Amino acid sequence: MPARGEVRPTPSRVREALFSMLGQDLSGWSVLDGFAGAGMLGLEACSRGAAPLTLCERDPAVVAHLRRVLRELGVEGELVRGDTRDLLRSAAAAGRRWDLVLLDPPYADDPGQWAALAAPVTARALVIEHRWGPSLPDPLDGMVQERHRRYGDTGLALYWRPSP
Protein backbone atom coordinates (compact mmCIF):
# COMPACT_ATOMS: atom_id res chain seq x y z
CA MET A 1 0.00 0.00 0.00
CA PRO A 2 1.29 3.50 -0.72
CA ALA A 3 2.51 5.55 2.24
CA ARG A 4 -0.15 6.94 4.54
CA GLY A 5 -1.21 10.39 3.46
CA GLU A 6 -1.20 9.57 -0.25
CA VAL A 7 -4.83 8.52 -0.02
CA ARG A 8 -7.65 9.63 2.28
CA PRO A 9 -9.58 6.44 3.07
CA THR A 10 -13.25 6.83 3.86
CA PRO A 11 -13.67 6.39 7.63
CA SER A 12 -15.32 3.09 8.59
CA ARG A 13 -18.23 4.91 10.24
CA VAL A 14 -18.97 6.75 6.97
CA ARG A 15 -18.65 3.52 4.93
CA GLU A 16 -21.08 1.76 7.27
CA ALA A 17 -23.57 4.61 6.94
CA LEU A 18 -23.22 4.65 3.17
CA PHE A 19 -23.88 0.95 2.71
CA SER A 20 -26.70 1.09 5.23
CA MET A 21 -28.35 3.67 2.94
CA LEU A 22 -27.69 1.66 -0.22
CA GLY A 23 -28.73 -1.70 1.18
CA GLN A 24 -26.99 -4.99 1.74
CA ASP A 25 -27.65 -6.62 -1.64
CA LEU A 26 -26.11 -4.91 -4.66
CA SER A 27 -26.13 -8.06 -6.80
CA GLY A 28 -25.76 -7.29 -10.47
CA TRP A 29 -25.00 -3.60 -9.98
CA SER A 30 -22.13 -2.18 -12.00
CA VAL A 31 -20.00 0.21 -9.96
CA LEU A 32 -17.65 3.11 -10.67
CA ASP A 33 -15.37 4.15 -7.81
CA GLY A 34 -14.22 7.42 -9.30
CA PHE A 35 -11.49 8.37 -6.84
CA ALA A 36 -10.50 4.87 -5.92
CA GLY A 37 -7.59 5.56 -3.57
CA ALA A 38 -7.39 2.40 -1.47
CA GLY A 39 -10.43 1.03 -3.33
CA MET A 40 -12.41 0.50 -0.14
CA LEU A 41 -15.75 1.83 -1.39
CA GLY A 42 -15.72 -0.12 -4.63
CA LEU A 43 -14.51 -3.30 -2.96
CA GLU A 44 -17.18 -2.99 -0.27
CA ALA A 45 -19.80 -2.75 -3.02
CA CYS A 46 -18.34 -5.92 -4.59
CA SER A 47 -18.56 -7.71 -1.24
CA ARG A 48 -22.30 -7.03 -1.43
CA GLY A 49 -22.62 -8.61 -4.87
CA ALA A 50 -21.89 -5.69 -7.18
CA ALA A 51 -20.00 -6.46 -10.40
CA PRO A 52 -18.33 -5.40 -12.56
CA LEU A 53 -16.26 -2.79 -10.78
CA THR A 54 -14.49 0.13 -12.43
CA LEU A 55 -11.81 1.90 -10.39
CA CYS A 56 -10.35 5.21 -11.53
CA GLU A 57 -7.19 6.56 -9.95
CA ARG A 58 -4.48 8.86 -11.23
CA ASP A 59 -1.57 8.11 -8.85
CA PRO A 60 0.67 5.43 -10.44
CA ALA A 61 1.73 3.92 -7.09
CA VAL A 62 -1.88 3.62 -5.98
CA VAL A 63 -2.85 2.10 -9.34
CA ALA A 64 -0.13 -0.55 -8.96
CA HIS A 65 -1.41 -1.35 -5.47
CA LEU A 66 -5.01 -1.60 -6.70
CA ARG A 67 -3.96 -3.91 -9.53
CA ARG A 68 -2.44 -6.30 -6.97
CA VAL A 69 -5.51 -6.09 -4.71
CA LEU A 70 -7.92 -6.86 -7.56
CA ARG A 71 -5.79 -9.83 -8.64
CA GLU A 72 -5.41 -11.19 -5.09
CA LEU A 73 -9.13 -10.88 -4.36
CA GLY A 74 -10.19 -12.18 -7.77
CA VAL A 75 -12.45 -9.17 -8.30
CA GLU A 76 -13.93 -8.68 -11.76
CA GLY A 77 -12.99 -5.18 -12.65
CA GLU A 78 -11.46 -2.52 -14.81
CA LEU A 79 -8.71 -0.27 -13.52
CA VAL A 80 -8.48 3.10 -15.24
CA ARG A 81 -5.35 5.15 -14.63
CA GLY A 82 -6.28 8.73 -15.26
CA ASP A 83 -8.39 11.69 -14.39
CA THR A 84 -11.93 11.01 -13.14
CA ARG A 85 -13.24 14.12 -14.88
CA ASP A 86 -11.99 12.78 -18.23
CA LEU A 87 -13.50 9.35 -17.54
CA LEU A 88 -16.91 10.83 -16.67
CA ARG A 89 -16.95 13.05 -19.75
CA SER A 90 -15.92 10.28 -22.12
CA ALA A 91 -18.43 7.86 -20.55
CA ALA A 92 -21.22 10.42 -20.95
CA ALA A 93 -20.26 11.03 -24.58
CA ALA A 94 -20.29 7.27 -25.26
CA GLY A 95 -23.57 6.69 -23.40
CA ARG A 96 -21.88 4.47 -20.82
CA ARG A 97 -23.55 4.20 -17.41
CA TRP A 98 -22.95 2.48 -14.08
CA ASP A 99 -25.68 1.49 -11.65
CA LEU A 100 -23.74 2.97 -8.75
CA VAL A 101 -21.24 5.83 -8.95
CA LEU A 102 -19.12 6.52 -5.87
CA LEU A 103 -17.14 9.77 -5.81
CA ASP A 104 -14.82 10.93 -3.05
CA PRO A 105 -13.09 13.90 -4.72
CA PRO A 106 -10.49 16.09 -3.03
CA TYR A 107 -12.16 18.06 -0.26
CA ALA A 108 -11.05 21.35 -1.85
CA ASP A 109 -13.20 20.60 -4.94
CA ASP A 110 -16.79 21.75 -5.38
CA PRO A 111 -18.91 18.61 -4.81
CA GLY A 112 -21.78 20.10 -6.83
CA GLN A 113 -19.65 20.17 -9.97
CA TRP A 114 -18.72 16.50 -9.47
CA ALA A 115 -22.36 15.58 -8.91
CA ALA A 116 -23.32 17.31 -12.17
CA LEU A 117 -20.57 15.47 -14.08
CA ALA A 118 -21.51 12.09 -12.62
CA ALA A 119 -25.30 12.23 -12.87
CA PRO A 120 -25.47 11.52 -16.63
CA VAL A 121 -23.48 8.29 -16.21
CA THR A 122 -25.46 7.09 -13.17
CA ALA A 123 -28.26 4.58 -13.77
CA ARG A 124 -29.44 4.06 -10.15
CA ALA A 125 -27.50 5.71 -7.31
CA LEU A 126 -24.83 8.39 -6.98
CA VAL A 127 -22.85 8.99 -3.79
CA ILE A 128 -20.70 12.06 -3.25
CA GLU A 129 -18.40 12.16 -0.22
CA HIS A 130 -17.17 15.70 0.47
CA ARG A 131 -16.09 18.17 3.11
CA TRP A 132 -19.23 19.18 4.98
CA GLY A 133 -20.49 22.65 4.18
CA PRO A 134 -21.74 23.23 0.68
CA SER A 135 -25.21 22.22 -0.32
CA LEU A 136 -25.56 20.11 -3.43
CA PRO A 137 -28.07 20.55 -6.24
CA ASP A 138 -31.44 18.82 -5.93
CA PRO A 139 -32.89 17.59 -8.22
CA LEU A 140 -29.95 16.72 -10.44
CA ASP A 141 -30.36 15.48 -14.02
CA GLY A 142 -33.51 13.54 -13.10
CA MET A 143 -32.01 12.27 -9.84
CA VAL A 144 -33.38 13.06 -6.40
CA GLN A 145 -31.17 13.69 -3.39
CA GLU A 146 -32.50 11.20 -0.87
CA ARG A 147 -30.05 11.96 1.93
CA HIS A 148 -27.33 14.42 2.80
CA ARG A 149 -25.74 13.56 6.13
CA ARG A 150 -22.88 14.92 8.19
CA TYR A 151 -20.22 12.76 9.86
CA GLY A 152 -17.76 15.13 11.52
CA ASP A 153 -16.06 17.05 8.69
CA THR A 154 -17.44 14.66 6.09
CA GLY A 155 -20.64 15.07 4.11
CA LEU A 156 -22.30 12.15 2.37
CA ALA A 157 -24.91 12.88 -0.31
CA LEU A 158 -26.97 10.08 -1.84
CA TYR A 159 -28.95 10.57 -5.04
CA TRP A 160 -31.36 8.03 -6.56
CA ARG A 161 -32.66 7.92 -10.10
CA PRO A 162 -36.37 7.12 -9.88
CA SER A 163 -37.50 4.06 -11.83
CA PRO A 164 -39.31 4.96 -15.06
- The per-residue pLDDT of the chain, averaged, comes to 89
- What is the predicted pLDDT for the residue at 17? 85
Q: What is the mean pLDDT of residues 3-7?
A: 46
Q: Is the pLDDT of residue 1 over 70?
A: no
What is residue 58's predicted lDDT score, i.e. its pLDDT?
93
3-state secondary structure of 120: helix
9-29 average pLDDT score: 85
Residue type, 18: L
pLDDT in tens, 54-64: 999 999 999 99
SS3 121: helix
Contact 42, 102 (CB under 8 A): yes
Distance CA 133, CA 136 (A): 9
What single letter denotes the amino acid at residue 161?
A: R
- Determine the pLDDT at residue 7: 57
pLDDT at 3 over 70: no
| Model pLDDT, residue 69 | 93
pLDDT digits (tens, 9 = 90+) for 81-138: 999 999 999 999 999 999 999 999 988 899 999 999 999 999 999 999 998 987 788 8
The pLDDT confidence band at residue 5, using thresholds 50, 70 and 90, is very low
- The answer to which of 11-15, 66-70, 95-99, 156-160 has the lowest mean pLDDT is 11-15
